Amino acid sequence: AMSVIGDRRSREQKAKQEREKELAKVTIKKEDLELIMNEMEISRAAAERSLREHMGDVVEALITLTN
């Protein structure tokens, strides 16, 4: 039972690392990042994460943050 749990955890961690690598490849504009930070009053990290998750689309990122 412990090995099953360990295997699942390692698979989840590997998937998470792959997702982070994919997000890191997304290019974002400094202006878009600053816009989200100022308008939504959130941290730089949160704004950057939102932009990367939406492939750099500032409109989609803002829509998600306001919902």
Annotate 13-66 with DSSP letters as a single string.
Answer: HHHHHHHHHHHHH----HHHHHHHHHHHT--HHHHHHHHHHTTT-HHHHHHHHH
| Model confidence, pTM | 0.74
Instruction: Note the pLDDT of residue 4.
Output: 87
10-residue averages of pLDDT along the chain (67 residues): 86 93 90 94 93 93 92
Extents of the domains making up the chain: 3-66
Which amino acid would we find at residue 41? E
Which residue shows structure tokens 């409109």?
59
